[in-house]
Amino acid sequence: MSDSPYFFKPWLRLICACFLGTGPATTNTDGPPVEKGPFRAPELVELKELDPGLRFDVRYATANNFLGRSVYPQARVFMQKPAAAAVVRAHARLKPYGYGLLIFDGYRPWTVTKLFWESVSKDKRPFLADPKEGSRHNRGCAVDLSLYDLKTGLEVAMPSQYDEMTERAYPDYPGGTAESRRLRGLLRKVMEAEGFSVYKTEWWHFDYKNWREYAILDLPFSAIKP
């Protein structure tokens, strides 16, 4: 078996184990939690290939993020195909209002989720996913985004900055300007219309309705094939 591609690729073993449902969920200290399946086969697609009107600011491929350094080798955003299609539809819903979607992040390898958790103080962890449970980003069914103005091409002002770990990031935070709250509400409205729900501590984070159907993944971007 040593000459088998399956033998050499831990991420492929993980996918197969999750998809086939080989046992109950357990904690794996060396990698992603092993969950009870079966799950849908992953079908990650790149958002930039789906609609030229989508804009991107992949902060984790730069030093402009809460860690102050790059954690992605490439500025790319992937999601499971049904979730990606729903993002495109939400983008189309915004056009009559004069806005489009600005995408920060989508699929996130589990290793990055673990790095985030280990890099912050305990008081900031409510804003992050526990790697013992995994993130919906790891499943390819979560997206971080905001709005941009179609006329100016500029990102709009929201009640908080992206990845700000304060109460201002809560989707029901009552502060900020009336206009920023209106835009936050518009973003939430169009995303919910396409089957997403907002995360309890982050106005920019939306989970797709079918996220439970997909397993936690730790695929590097380079291993995702079109």
For residue 89, give the H/E element and its range: helix 81-94
State yes or no: is 202 an active-site residue. yes
14 vs 26: CA distance, rounded Å? 13
Q: What is the pLDDT of residue 16?
A: 39
Q: What is the pLDDT of residue 126?
A: 87
Contacts with 96 (C-beta within 8 Å, 6 or more apart), sequence order: none
Domain membership flag for residue 97? yes
Structural domain containing residue 112:
43-223
Q: What is the pLDDT of residue 226?
A: 75
Residue 203 φ/ψ, nearest 5 degrees: -65, -20
From 155, 167, 202, 213, the catalytic residue? 202
Domain membership flag for residue 60? yes
- Going residue by residue through the chain (226 aa), what tens digit of pLDDT does each one get? 333 232 223 444 344 334 434 334 455 557 899 898 899 999 999 999 999 999 999 999 999 999 999 999 999 999 999 999 999 999 999 999 999 999 999 999 999 999 999 999 999 998 999 999 999 999 999 999 999 999 999 999 999 999 999 999 999 999 999 999 999 999 999 999 999 999 999 999 999 999 999 999 999 999 998 7
Q: What is the pLDDT of residue 4?
A: 29
The CA-atom distances, in angstroms, between 30 and each of 148, 165, 204 are 40, 28, 30
Ranges of beta strands (E only) in 47-153 are: 55-56, 78-80, 99-105, 142-149
Domain membership flag for residue 12? no
- What CATH code is carried by the domain that includes residue 90? 3.30.1380.10
Q: What is the pLDDT of residue 178?
A: 98
Omega within 30 of 0 (cis) for the link into 82: no
Domain membership flag for residue 23? no
The CA-atom distances, in angstroms, between 222 and each of 75, 104, 108 are 12, 19, 13
Q: Give me the number of domains the chain comprises.
A: 1
Domain membership flag for residue 125? yes
